[in-house]
Amino acid sequence: MHNKTITQLAHGLRSGEFSSVELTQAYLNRIKRHQGLNTYITVCEDLALQVAYAADIRLANGNPELLTGIPIAQKDIFCTEGVKTTCGSKMLDNFIAPYNATVVEKFNQAGAVMLGKLNMDEFAMGSSNETSYYGAVRNPWDINAVPGGSSGGSAAALAARLAVGATGTDTGGSIRQPAALCGITGLKPTYGRVSRYGMIAYASSLDQGGPMTRSAEDAAIMLQVMAGFDEKDSTSVDLPVPDYRAGLNNSIAGLKIGLPKEFFGEGLDSDVAAALETAVNEYRKLGAEIKEISMPNLNLAIPAYYVIAPAECSANLARFDGVRYGYRCENPVDLSDLYTRSRGEGFGKEVKRRILMGTYALSAGYYDAYYIKAQKIRRLLSEDFKNALAQVDVVMGPVTPGTAFGIGEKIGNPIAMYLSDIYTIAINLAGVPAMSIPAGFVKGKPVGLQIIGNYFAEDRLLNIAHRYQQVTGWHLQPPKGFE
């Protein structure tokens, strides 16, 4: 059962091959068996079985939706009413959300079964899932390697078949990079496509929720539920949501693919480059035209990101002050002590680093040199994408410079860690959608191919990814021990 896609599971539930309760129980058993991967922070066993039971009734009554009774899991950044929502932090270890994020509400309405809450880097700050208060997540392809981050729990759980679909969030690569390192499919939608309400903010102008699955078709099904305007999120965009599955099989003959030369230069692992070349060739066989392009400002993305994201996070995380909810230090002697110790003890090292960087960047006398400058770079990067996407239909490139690195390998070196997002960050700054799909292996570890499209062209990306997955089998391969 655990190797089936959402479409196959939906079919099985309708044909009576298995019930949602049986399916959910099977997944719960698997989660227990593989808890060493540390993918889940909270497993909602009772709740999941209750929802599965209700789903079976709905299936029997004949008014189910596609996801009714399908076991999925939420990244622990999404608020879930009555269920602990930690954001991977000690700060929220005691926080039971009193409301549902819009995305969670939509999955609930669809009748999806939430198995639990997935591990992540603390407040989504990290590229290896090692900053989580709940410990590192292990990559099912190599248990000594990281799964990537910040949606590392989501990616590892999917690769290990501990859920058939999961949510992720992507601020600088947090869906695509772990998807690549764990060999699964991840989609970061256009900024504004998916509501951020109830998604704990890291960097508000960059954060975007999206689906993580094992196939493009499943991603289309998940996105269908997640996407759409939300009056509770002023930055969500009021545009109609297309039928994402309708065009999956469209021909991609004549598709113009741009390969920015800046993506394939120094820093990219040669084996990864070779794997990507093979993948691009596959597209050529499908009738696509390949064109080399240039995006001259890509090298500015990381410095701009590490001003903007920390600046926003320094304000976003100010609410965690020990006053109303979350961690509070013991016996504070006065207000200042309450603040400094609650925050000092509640936040981890990387979170503090980014709050400090952001506070500095916004300080009087530095604002223009850092924040304003970074915003100008952001505009340049958007121009780069606009120009590129005027010449070609999609841009392709690597997701990460190499395959999954070892646990502990980069955690002591923030700059090295930040550079692992070098190919993903510019996309968030521009706000365009992008996918990561499995495109082969290097020394037994997965390689991801990144496909970047124009604003609100998620349907096109899914179509391009799906066509590739029709002619390749990378996405179907389970890691050893998780078959």
Partner 1 sequence: MEWETVIGLEIHTQLATKSKIFSGASTAYGAAPNTQACAVDLGLPGVLPVLNEEAVHKAVIFGMAIEAEIAPYSVFARKNYFYPDLPKGYQISQMELPIVGPGHLDIEVDGVSKRIGITRAHLEEDAGKSLHEDFHGLTGIDLNRAGTPLLEIVSEPDMRSAKEAVAYMRKLHELVRYLDICDGNMQEGSFRCDANVSVRPKGQKEFGTRAEIKNINSFKFVEKAINHETGRQIELIENGGKVIQETRLYDSVKDETRSMRSKEEANDYRYFPDPDLLPVFISEDFKALVKAQLPELPQAKKHRFQDQYALDEDNAAMLTYSCQLADYFEAVLKESGCEARLCANWITGELSAALNKAGLEITGSPVSHERLAGLLARIGDNTISGKIAKQVFEEMWQGTATADEIIAAKGLKQITDSGAIELIIDRIIAENPGQVQQYRSGKDKVFAFFVGQVMKEMQGKANPGEVNKMLKAKLSR
What span, in angstroms and rounded, lies between the C-alpha atoms of 53 and 195? 28
Is residue 151 annotated as a catalytic residue, yes or no? no
Supply the minimum distance, in Å, between the C-beta of residue 330 and partner 1.
15
- Among the listed residues 127, 128, 154, 174, the single catalytic one is 174
- Choosing from 15, 63, 234, 331, the residue that interacts with partner 1 (CB under 8 A) is 234
Element (DSSP H or E) covering residue 437: strand 434-442
Q: Is 143 in the site for partner 1 (CB under 8 A)?
A: no
Of 109-117, 215-223, 229-237, 420-428, the window that binds partner 1 (rule: CB under 8 A) is 229-237
Is residue 150 annotated as a catalytic residue, yes or no? yes
Q: Which is nearer to partner 1, 100 or 213 (CB)?
A: 100
Supply the minimum distance, in Å, between the C-beta of residue 249 and partner 1.
37
Supply the minimum distance, in Å, between the C-beta of residue 43 and partner 1.
21
Q: Which is nearer to partner 1, 119 or 195 (CB)?
A: 195
Q: Is 81 in the site for partner 1 (CB under 8 A)?
A: no
What span, in angstroms and rounded, lies between the C-alpha atoms of 389 and 398? 17
Retrieve residue 340's tokens.
């400094």
The sign of the dihedral angle between the CA atoms of 444, 139, 309, 391 is positive
Phi, psi of 108 (to 5 degrees): -60, -45
What span, in angstroms and rounded, lies between the C-alpha atoms of 32 and 26? 10
Q: Is 233 in the site for partner 1 (CB under 8 A)?
A: yes
Q: Which is nearer to partner 1, 201 or 434 (CB)?
A: 201
- Choosing from 143, 318, 416, 471, the residue that interacts with partner 1 (CB under 8 A) is 318
Q: How many CB atoms lie within 10 A of CB 409?
A: 16
Instruction: Enumerate helices (H) and strands (E) in the chain, giving the number of each.
Output: 16, 11
Supply the minimum distance, in Å, between the C-beta of residue 130 and partner 1.
22
Pairing of strands 394-398, 256-260: parallel
- Cβ atoms of 131 and 88 closer than 8 Å: yes
Q: In what order do the strands lie in the sheet with 256-260?
A: 40-43, 113-118, 71-75, 165-169, 209-213, 185-188, 434-442, 445-452, 394-398, 256-260, 289-293
- Choosing from 254, 270, 324, 443, the residue that interacts with partner 1 (CB under 8 A) is 324
Q: Is 363 in the site for partner 1 (CB under 8 A)?
A: yes
Q: How many CB atoms lie within 10 A of CB 414?
A: 16
Q: Is 323 in the site for partner 1 (CB under 8 A)?
A: yes
Is residue 174 annotated as a catalytic residue, yes or no? yes
- Choosing from 32, 33, 232, 349, the residue that interacts with partner 1 (CB under 8 A) is 232
- Choosing from 133, 197, 347, 423, the residue that interacts with partner 1 (CB under 8 A) is 197
Known catalytic residues are: 75, 150, 174
User: Applying CB under 8 A, which residues contact partner 1?
Assistant: 78-79, 85, 87, 92, 95, 97-99, 101, 196-201, 203-205, 231-235, 311-312, 314-315, 317-321, 323-325, 335, 339, 359, 362-364, 367, 371
